Structure 1
Amino acid sequence: MTAKIILQLAALLGALSVGIGAFAAHGLRKMLEASGRFETFETAVRYQFFHTLALLGIGVLLVLRPELKSLGTVAWLWLGGIIIFSGSLYVLCLTGITKLGAVTPIGGVLFIAGWIMLLLAARQL
């Protein structure tokens, strides 16, 4: 994944994080609180936003050090984590399909794998 794509992805995911979080706080709060899932939804938004900021950093680092190609793998892992971890929690909260909870840890593993890949990439600095 190129620096340009990573930075554009971070911009898009950042906007989505703010939009989704605001929508939950203002438009979905009563429904999510009634189902006991408001905190779960907040967790999904928080992890999405943290990893979006991390993607932004990876994009900037890749602009500065384009030879660190493994940073593209970090970006893919974090993107997968956002989609699977946060995405499964969003769907769980909005639909009540509890079986999706079984998929959420896969996203968490992708987040962890991305951080480990970043550790390995940083050894090349």
Structure 2
Amino acid sequence: MKILLIIAALNGLLAVALGAFGAHGLEGKISEKNLDTWGKAVDYQMFHTMALFATALLMGKIQSGLMTGAGWAFIIGILLFSGSLYIYAPTGIKTFAMITPLGGVAFLVGWILLGYAIIKFL
């Protein structure tokens, strides 16, 4: 539980820093479309950082491997989804954009595991 909270806090910090970098450091350097892509990466990182926080906090109430699985699925989703978009937006290398859906699947798995754990144990 503690490691997930620490990772969530670091992800929150990174999301804010990367959002600011996109708004101020990349403006005028990459296309508007790619800035939107960068913004999507920041949004999804922050949304799932909050999901990770909630999951870690709920682990105190729900003692199940489902919760641990949900937390790690959110982390993997952030790395694959947001991480691939952070690389794709400034470089335009399409290989990275092809990784993004795998992160989306990891997010879905995290939400399914979290929802199932809540239904089963609360």
- TM-score relative to the length of structure 2: 0.93
Query: Quick one: structure 1 residues 87 and 105, their matched pair in 2 at CA, closer, same or farther if it must change by over 3 Å?
Result: same
Alignment of 1:8-23 (within 5 A): 8-23=6-21
Shift of 1:68: 2.7
Structure 1 segments of 4+ aligned residues over 4 angstroms from their partners = none
Q: Residue 59 of structure 2 aligns to which amino acid in structure 1? A: L
Shift of 1:33: 2.8
Shift of 1:66: 5.2
Shift of 1:53: 0.7
Q: Residue 79 of structure 1 aligns to which amino acid in structure 2? A: I
Find the aligned partners of 1:7 and 1:99 in 2 and give their Cα distance: 31
Q: Which residue of 2 aligns with 1:113?
A: 109
Q: Which residue of 1 aligns with 2:80?
A: 84
Shift of 1:94: 1.9
Other structure's SS at 2:63 match: coil
Find the aligned partners of 1:17 and 1:30 in 2 and give their Cα distance: 21
Find the aligned partners of 2:39 and 2:30 in 1 and give their Cα distance: 10
Find the aligned partners of 1:18 and 1:94 in 2 and give their Cα distance: 18
The partner residue of 1:101 within 97, 100, 103 is 97
Residues 4-54 of structure 1, C-alpha deviations (whole Å, 9 max, x = no match): 0011011000000000000110111211336x3011110000000000011
